[in-house]
Structure 1
Amino acid sequence: MELLDTLIVGAGISGLSLAHALEAEATSASPLKILVAESQGRVGGNITTRTAGGFLWEEGPNSFSPTPELMKLAVDVGLKQELILADRKLPRFVYWQGKLQPVPMTPPAMIQSQLLSFPGKLRALFGALGFVPPAMGDRLSQQGDEETVSQFFRRHLGQEVMQRLVEPFVSGVYAGDPQQLSAAAAFGRVTKMADVGGGLVGGALLSARNRPKKMPADPNVPSTRPGELGSFKQGLKALPEAIAAQLADRVKLNWHLTRLQRTQRETYIAEFSTPDGPQQVEARTVVLTTPAYVTADLLQPLQPLVSSALQAFSYPTVACVVLAYPVSDLKGKLVGFGNLIPRGQGIRTLGTIWTSSLFADRAPAGWQTLSNYIGGATDSEIGNLDSEQIVREVHRDLSRILLKPSAAEPKVLAVHVWKRAIPQYNLGHFDRLQQIDGGLKSLPGVFLCSNYVGGVALGDCVRRGFERAPQVREYLQNKQSDSRSI
Structure 2
Amino acid sequence: MKRIAIVGGGIAGLTAAYELSRLASSGVAVEATLFEASPRLGGIVETVREGGFVIECGPDAWVTEKPWARELAEELGLGDEIMPSNDATRKTYVLMDRQLKAMPDGMRMMVPSNLAALDHSDLFSAEAKRAYHDEVNRAAELKASPPQQDESVAEFVQRHFGTEVLEKIGAPLLRGVFGGDVAKLSVNAVMAPFVAMEREHGSLISAMQIRAAAKESNEDAVFTTLQSGLGTLVDRMIAAIPKAWIHLGTAIHSIARDGDSWNVKTSSTQEAFDAILIAAPVHVARTLLQPTDARAAELMEMDASSAVIVAFGFPEATEFSTPPGFGFLVPQDSGSRLLACTFVDQKFASRVPKNGKLVRAFFGGDAAERLMRCGNDEVASVARLELAPILGPLPEPQVTVVRRWPKSLPQYAVGHIERMKELDERLLKIPGLSLLGNGYRGVGLPDLIRDARTAARQIA
Question: Normalized against structure 2, the TM-score is what?
Answer: 0.86
Q: Which of 6, 9, 12 is matched with 1:8 structurally?
A: 6
Residue 353 (structure 1) aligns with: 342
Relative to structure 1, the CA distance from residue 361 to residue 461 in structure 2 (aligned partners, 3 Å threshold; closer, same or farther) is: same
How far residue 381 of structure 1 moved from its aligned partner, in angstroms, is: 4.0
CA distance in 2, matches of 1:34, 1:153: 45
Residue 115 (structure 1) aligns with: 123
Q: Give yes or no for contact 1:9–1:289 (8 Å, CA) kept in 2.
A: yes
How far residue 399 of structure 1 moved from its aligned partner, in angstroms, is: 1.2
Q: Which of 116, 125, 132 is matched with 1:124 structurally?
A: 132
CA distance in 2, matches of 1:83, 1:207: 26
Q: Deviations over 1:155-201 (max 9, x none)?
A: 11222321222111112111211122122222122123213433325
CA distance in 2, matches of 1:379, 1:240: 26
Q: Which of 287, 291, 296 is matched with 2:286 structurally?
A: 296
How far residue 313 of structure 1 moved from its aligned partner, in angstroms, is: 1.4
How far residue 94 of structure 1 moved from its aligned partner, in angstroms, is: 1.9
Runs of 5+ consecutive residues of structure 1 not aligned to the other structure: 136-140, 212-223, 474-486
Q: Give yes or no for contact 2:156–2:187 (8 Å, CA) kept in 1.
A: yes
Residue 477 (structure 1) aligns with: none
1:187 matches 2:187: no
How far residue 36 of structure 1 moved from its aligned partner, in angstroms, is: 2.7
Q: Map residues 371-410 of structure 1 onto 2, 5 A cutoff.
A: 371-376=360-365, 380-404=369-393, 407-408=394-395, 410=397
The AA in structure 2 aligned to 1:340 is L
Q: Give yes or no for contact 2:21–2:240 (8 Å, CA) kept in 1.
A: no
How far residue 298 of structure 1 moved from its aligned partner, in angstroms, is: 1.0
1:33 matches 2:31: yes
How far residue 292 of structure 1 moved from its aligned partner, in angstroms, is: 0.6
The AA in structure 2 aligned to 1:367 is G
Q: Deviations over 1:181-227 (max 9, x none)?
A: 12222212212321343332566689999x9xxxxxxxxxxxx9443
How far residue 133 of structure 1 moved from its aligned partner, in angstroms, is: 7.1
The AA in structure 2 aligned to 1:12 is G
1:464 matches 2:451: yes
What SS does the corresponding residue of 1:471 show, helix, strand or coil?
A: helix
How far residue 342 of structure 1 moved from its aligned partner, in angstroms, is: 1.4
CA distance in 1, matches of 2:414, 2:235: 36
CA distance in 2, matches of 1:205, 1:355: 29
* Greater alpha carbon shift after TM alignment, 347-356 vs 379-388: 379-388
Q: Deviations over 1:90-143 (max 9, x none)?
A: 2222222333223224214334322223432231233245448779xxxxx9xx
The AA in structure 2 aligned to 1:114 is D
Residue 241 (structure 1) aligns with: 235
Residue 221 (structure 1) aligns with: none
1:57 matches 2:55: yes
CA RMSD of aligned residues (A): 3.1
Q: Deviations over 1:6-45 (max 9, x none)?
A: 3222222212333344455668564433333322222211
What SS does the corresponding residue of 2:302 show, helix, strand or coil?
A: coil
Q: Which of 350, 369, 373 is matched with 2:358 structurally?
A: 369
CA distance in 1, matches of 2:79, 2:47: 19
1:95 matches 2:95: yes
Residue 482 (structure 1) aligns with: none
Runs of 5+ consecutive residues of structure 2 not aligned to the other structure: 107-113
Q: Give yes or no for contact 1:317–1:420 (8 Å, CA) kept in 2.
A: yes
1:255 matches 2:250: yes
How far residue 367 of structure 1 moved from its aligned partner, in angstroms, is: 3.3
1:174 matches 2:178: yes
Q: Which of 417, 423, 427 is matched with 1:440 structurally?
A: 427
Q: Map residues 41-52 of structure 1 onto 2, 5 A cutoff.
A: 41-52=39-50
Relative to structure 1, the CA distance from residue 383 to residue 130 in structure 2 (aligned partners, 3 Å threshold; closer, same or farther) is: farther
Relative to structure 1, the CA distance from residue 126 to residue 20 in structure 2 (aligned partners, 3 Å threshold; closer, same or farther) is: farther
CA distance in 2, matches of 1:205, 1:56: 37
CA distance in 1, matches of 2:237, 2:296: 31
How far residue 362 of structure 1 moved from its aligned partner, in angstroms, is: 2.9
The AA in structure 1 aligned to 2:99 is K
Residue 15 (structure 2) aligns with: 17
What SS does the corresponding residue of 2:242 show, helix, strand or coil?
A: helix
CA distance in 2, matches of 1:418, 1:270: 26
The AA in structure 2 aligned to 1:18 is A
The AA in structure 2 aligned to 1:349 is L
The AA in structure 2 aligned to 1:444 is P
Relative to structure 1, the CA distance from residue 119 to residue 300 in structure 2 (aligned partners, 3 Å threshold; closer, same or farther) is: same
How far residue 337 of structure 1 moved from its aligned partner, in angstroms, is: 1.5
Q: Deviations over 1:281-340 (max 9, x none)?
A: 332221111111110111122112222232x2112222111123442443x354321111
Q: Give yes or no for contact 1:197–1:204 (8 Å, CA) kept in 2.
A: no
Relative to structure 1, the CA distance from residue 337 to residue 204 in structure 2 (aligned partners, 3 Å threshold; closer, same or farther) is: closer
Relative to structure 1, the CA distance from residue 169 to residue 420 in structure 2 (aligned partners, 3 Å threshold; closer, same or farther) is: same
Residue 149 (structure 1) aligns with: 153
What SS does the corresponding residue of 1:316 show, helix, strand or coil?
A: strand
Q: Give yes or no for contact 1:18–1:469 (8 Å, CA) kept in 2.
A: yes
Relative to structure 1, the CA distance from residue 29 to residue 400 in structure 2 (aligned partners, 3 Å threshold; closer, same or farther) is: closer
The AA in structure 1 aligned to 2:121 is S
Q: Deviations over 1:366-394 (max 9, x none)?
A: 43221111122687544455444433332
Q: Which of 199, 203, 226 is matched with 1:199 structurally?
A: 203
Residue 110 (structure 2) aligns with: none
Residue 220 (structure 1) aligns with: none
What SS does the corresponding residue of 1:349 show, helix, strand or coil?
A: coil
State percent identity of aligned pairs: 25
Q: Give yes or no for contact 1:287–1:449 (8 Å, CA) kept in 2.
A: yes
Q: Deviations over 1:261-293 (max 9, x none)?
A: 2121x22122234xxxx3343322211111111
CA distance in 1, matches of 2:139, 2:222: 32
CA distance in 2, matches of 1:101, 1:81: 36
Relative to structure 1, the CA distance from residue 4 to residue 26 in structure 2 (aligned partners, 3 Å threshold; closer, same or farther) is: closer
Q: Give yes or no for contact 2:24–2:31 (8 Å, CA) kept in 1.
A: no
Q: Give yes or no for contact 2:380–2:400 (8 Å, CA) kept in 1.
A: no
What SS does the corresponding residue of 2:271 show, helix, strand or coil?
A: strand
Relative to structure 1, the CA distance from residue 121 to residue 25 in structure 2 (aligned partners, 3 Å threshold; closer, same or farther) is: farther
What SS does the corresponding residue of 1:151 show, helix, strand or coil?
A: helix
The AA in structure 1 aligned to 2:401 is A
Q: Give yes or no for contact 1:94–1:341 (8 Å, CA) kept in 2.
A: yes
Q: Give yes or no for contact 1:7–1:35 (8 Å, CA) kept in 2.
A: yes
1:283 matches 2:277: no
CA distance in 2, matches of 1:386, 1:133: 54
How far residue 47 of structure 1 moved from its aligned partner, in angstroms, is: 0.9
Relative to structure 1, the CA distance from residue 28 to residue 409 in structure 2 (aligned partners, 3 Å threshold; closer, same or farther) is: closer
Residue 299 (structure 2) aligns with: 309
How far residue 443 of structure 1 moved from its aligned partner, in angstroms, is: 1.6
What SS does the corresponding residue of 2:241 show, helix, strand or coil?
A: helix
